[in-house]
Structure 1
Amino acid sequence: MKISVVGLGVEGQKATISLLKRDYDVYSSDINKDIDLSLLQSSGFDENINLDLEVGSHNLDKIFKSDAVSVSPSLFNKKICKDIIERDIFISDIFTKHKSVKTIAVTGTNGKTTTTHMIYEILKNNGYKVAIGGNGGGGFSGYNELLLDANENDYDYMVIEVCDMTLAFCSYVFDIDIVVVTNIGYDHMDVHGSIEQYTQEVAEFIKDKPAILNCNDENLVKIKDESSNPLLFNIYDGDLNLFGKFNLKNADAAYMTCQYLGINTDEIKKSLAEFEAVKGRTKKIIYNTNEVITGKTDNVDALKAVLDEERFDILIIGTPRKYETCRYNILDYIKSYKPDTLIIFPGLEDTTYDYIEYLNNIGYNKDMMVLKNIDDIIRYINSKQNSKIFIGGNGQEKITKITSMLEDEL
């Protein structure tokens, strides 16, 4: 079977990897000749008899003669995708078994991954066979891996983490039965254009579906009636061994979702009490005499949710990619927060100079420094006593590595 992949961002590269490991003949292309293919290259798959890789252009003849085509979510509204759908070769129209699985989609600006895993654990602990996956940028193996897995195996439920930039794409690819929306925040505004537009996109996503919505989010409250059965979650009042009030909200979203699905209340509470922090998400470590909180907080709402919990002396913040200037408003909040010390490290890319320049331009006058290496960050933390330290910002992979190194030294 010949399958094409159009677009080689994170999702496209993960789709290519998923198809190659199943021994499909794959043609993958991207119109950007400077596309970063490090994810694909590090997977161990080279250009071989199964992979025909092209950058700088798309060969439409190869694409349209494919048995199925996977399209990057960012290209879903482009002409090339519409042409593929019209030819009845879009991948979710060829592989369709996944659409018969009861599907829960979890979206929002923050809290998606934790909430998705909570729902998964509750359902799994109650004897159901559950598929989990989705958003490649959030740490899963991508939408195509989930689609292929659900077409190869028999599942009772499928729980999908849906990136806020892929709502229309996921509405087409999956037959969603229930939507959970954690919140609507100021991230990816370069894509959405405005919070109002983002809210409208969410309204379309929940339209005529049961929806579990955050009662504390004014934008979600405004659009709740678009849902066929809106249920509002608040703050979970049961036992939960996770840091932060925001995780009590995630837990209540999972609780209400599983209650709606008919899971026994005591069983839900038992699963949540035993739930452990997802790798890379917010976690507390008592390291020597220091209290260290770590976790990806790649937008201002996520960062504020953590920093509002308690006062930190030291912030260690990872930087975004160069083009993600919409995330620089993290620094505006840090200016008002006024930590004793701010440390910047290369998160997703080394844009530390850009961060320093931005901080200088907004008149930031507290102590700050740049540490380029993870080992230097560990040494710095070792030099401190009785400090409250937060490690976050952008760069989930590096934040996770720092967390693991700290835990290994305990």
Structure 2
Amino acid sequence: MKIVVLGGGESGCGAAYLAKKKGLEVFLSDKGAIKDHYKQFLTENEIEFEEENHDEERILNADWIVKSPGIPKKAEMINKIHEKGIRLSSEIEFASEFTDAKIIAITGSNGKTTTTSLIYYILKNDGLKVGLGGNIGYSFAKQVADENHEYYVLEVSSFQLDDIQNFRPYISLLLNLSKDHLDQYNYNYEEYALAKFRITENQENDNFFIYNKDDEMSKNILEKLEIKAKMIPFSTHEKLSEGGFVDGENIEVNLKDKFSMKIDELSLLGNHNVANSLAASIAGKILEINNESIRNSLMTFQAVEHRLEFVTEIDGVKFINDSKATNVNAAYYALESMKNPTVWIVGGVDKGNDYTEVEDLVKRKVKAIVCLGIDNQKIIDFFKDKKELIYSTSSMEEAVKTSKSLAKNGDTVLLSPCCASFDLFKSYEDRGRQFKEQVLKANGN
């Protein structure tokens, strides 16, 4: 069988490596330049590859093509693959065909990385043999090739779900839905939402689907779809006879037996993280992890980098890195959890953002807006009648200096950009690290 892998990043190299280990004929092609450490990996493992080119004839002669999630589904080469009827899969689809491990797959518009990391931590803390992968930055395919885990906890994006055929998690989890990546879904919110719901399309009645009962779009979609998996809801607004919910000062999970824990004992801050902790607790209970072990994990888990990450305090001003907030809904959660007057750093590549969602929070909680991007006009135009202090900056150094000069003792400086990072940075991680570097520099470190 001839396997062609498109894209020479983490997922592409992992898929090519798995194909090679399984004795399949494999060729990797990347239209851009491949990073040196990935080239070295491919060379060391004797995987044939090309960069800055697509050998169309060779690609279209494949039996199975594995596509990296970063390649747009409307790309010319993807259209040609579909025309020829060649099977086109994501790395998670490809790798899942070579393992019998139970997969816990997490998707949603916001909170995926935190919840995926938390579930992995709960399983690992309980002594289970578990791998962490998918959209979180570790290749699932490479782990399947090299390791022998009983469980995999995978963060899964809509782009990865677009290219599945048989992918069937033991537990699937859809945290929430908000308007994101609409440029890839014909600016149609329902089309994007349906892509997320593909996480459960191959599940059977011996599988589990955890969903957010408070989420409006999820409710609408569930009225139209027939889900075969056992559905378990969670809610922060209403008590449930089965599932996870908030009861006064506690989170509760009611399945075969009950789990209860005080909200103020959770290591993660913010209302949205109460929901994430509920979802993770349900997964733990399905896997029959005992209450004490789940409680211990929820108390000791450390927040992931770039997601409401405390950086330092300078002259009584807290600096928070939430660079992973690449859409308005994610920034909403960050702003909602702010307790003090906030200087908000926002901006980047706009993905069709509608800022009305955060308008009220900005009026109540934000004392100044510092725009960070090549083109800040849309943000300035939206907020100019609502906030007196709005500044435009075009580098992280300038944004941090401006924010520091505006913040007083007791304030918070929050980087929660609402936007993609690619105008000024390589990635949201690069943006977050530069923020931390500039903040520590401003503190004389």
TM-score, L = length of structure 1? 0.79
Deviates more, 1:112-121 or 1:15-24: 15-24
What is the aligned counterpart of 1:399 among 432, 437, 440?
432
Q: Which residue number corresponds to residue 186 of structure 1?
A: 179
Backbone CA RMSD of aligned residues: 3.5
Maintained 8 Å contact 1:100/1:175 = no
Matches of 2:291 and 2:105 in 1, distance apart? Answer: 21
Matches of 2:38 and 2:231 in 1, distance apart? Answer: 45
Q: Which residue number corresponds to residue 61 of structure 2?
A: 64
| Deviation, structure 1 residue 391 | 1.0
Amino acid corresponding to residue 298 of structure 1 in structure 2: T
Structure 1 residues 196 and 93: CA distance shift in structure 2, 3 A: closer
1:177 aligns with 2:177: no
Q: Which residue number corresponds to residue 372 of structure 1?
A: 394
Maintained 8 Å contact 2:384/2:390 = no
1:306 aligns with 2:300: no
| Deviation, structure 1 residue 248 | 1.1
Amino acid corresponding to residue 297 of structure 1 in structure 2: A
| Deviation, structure 1 residue 372 | 3.2
| Deviation, structure 1 residue 196 | 2.5
Maintained 8 Å contact 1:16/1:26 = no
Unaligned runs of 5+ in 2: 21-25, 237-250, 252-260, 422-427
Deviation track 1:27-53 (CA, whole Å, cap 9, x = no partner) reads 3144xxxx5x4xx33546279785542
Deviation track 1:97-141 (CA, whole Å, cap 9, x = no partner) reads 644110011000000000000110010111111111111xxx414
Matches of 1:362 and 1:71 in 2, distance apart? Answer: 38
Amino acid corresponding to residue 104 of structure 2 in structure 1: I
Maintained 8 Å contact 1:258/1:268 = yes
Q: Which residue number corresponds to residue 10 of structure 2?
A: 14
Matches of 2:175 and 2:36 in 1, distance apart? Answer: 33
Report the secondary structure of 1:325's partner residue. Answer: coil
Amino acid corresponding to residue 402 of structure 1 in structure 2: F
Structure 1 residues 90 and 104: CA distance shift in structure 2, 3 A: closer
Matches within 5 A, 1:209-224: 209-224=207-222
Maintained 8 Å contact 1:17/1:43 = no
1:198 aligns with 2:192: yes
Deviation track 1:154-173 (CA, whole Å, cap 9, x = no partner) reads 1110111111233232x436
Matches within 5 A, 1:87-166: 98-135=98-135, 139-141=136-138, 145-166=139-160
| Deviation, structure 1 residue 241 | 1.7
Deviates more, 1:278-287 or 1:334-343: 334-343
Matches of 1:130 and 1:156 in 2, distance apart? Answer: 6
Q: Which residue number corresponds to residue 349 of structure 1?
A: none
Q: Which residue number corresponds to residue 337 of structure 1?
A: 362
| Deviation, structure 1 residue 19 | 6.1
Structure 1 residues 129 and 294: CA distance shift in structure 2, 3 A: same
What is the aligned counterpart of 1:284 among 292, 310, 316?
310
Matches of 1:382 and 1:332 in 2, distance apart? Answer: 26
Greater helix proportion: 1
1:4 aligns with 2:4: yes
Matches of 2:39 and 2:170 in 1, distance apart? Answer: 36
Unaligned runs of 5+ in 1: 346-351
Amino acid corresponding to residue 13 of structure 1 in structure 2: G
Amino acid corresponding to residue 129 of structure 2 in structure 1: K
Matches of 1:82 and 1:254 in 2, distance apart? Answer: 41
Q: Which residue number corresponds to residue 348 of structure 1?
A: none
Deviation track 1:241-266 (CA, whole Å, cap 9, x = no partner) reads 22211111111100011101111111
TM-score, L = length of structure 2? 0.73
Q: Which residue number corresponds to residue 389 of structure 1?
A: 413
1:297 aligns with 2:321: no
Report the secondary structure of 1:64's partner residue. Answer: coil
What is the aligned counterpart of 1:316 among 329, 335, 345?
345
Give the total of aligned pairs: 379
Report the secondary structure of 2:210's partner residue. Answer: strand
Deviation track 1:145-187 (CA, whole Å, cap 9, x = no partner) reads 2123113321110111111233232x43633221111101111
Q: Which residue number corresponds to residue 375 of structure 2?
A: 354
Q: Which residue number corresponds to residue 255 of structure 2?
A: none
- Over the matched positions of the two proteins, sequence identity in percent amounts to 22
Maintained 8 Å contact 2:109/2:175 = yes
Matches of 1:200 and 1:22 in 2, distance apart? Answer: 30
Structure 1 residues 29 and 250: CA distance shift in structure 2, 3 A: same
What is the aligned counterpart of 2:276 among 227, 246, 250?
250
Maintained 8 Å contact 1:108/1:184 = yes
Maintained 8 Å contact 1:69/1:91 = no
| Deviation, structure 1 residue 294 | 2.2
Maintained 8 Å contact 1:4/1:69 = yes
Deviates more, 1:280-289 or 1:244-253: 280-289
Matches of 2:124 and 2:235 in 1, distance apart? Answer: 24
Matches of 1:90 and 1:391 in 2, distance apart? Answer: 32
Matches of 1:381 and 1:359 in 2, distance apart? Answer: 17
Amino acid corresponding to residue 394 of structure 2 in structure 1: K
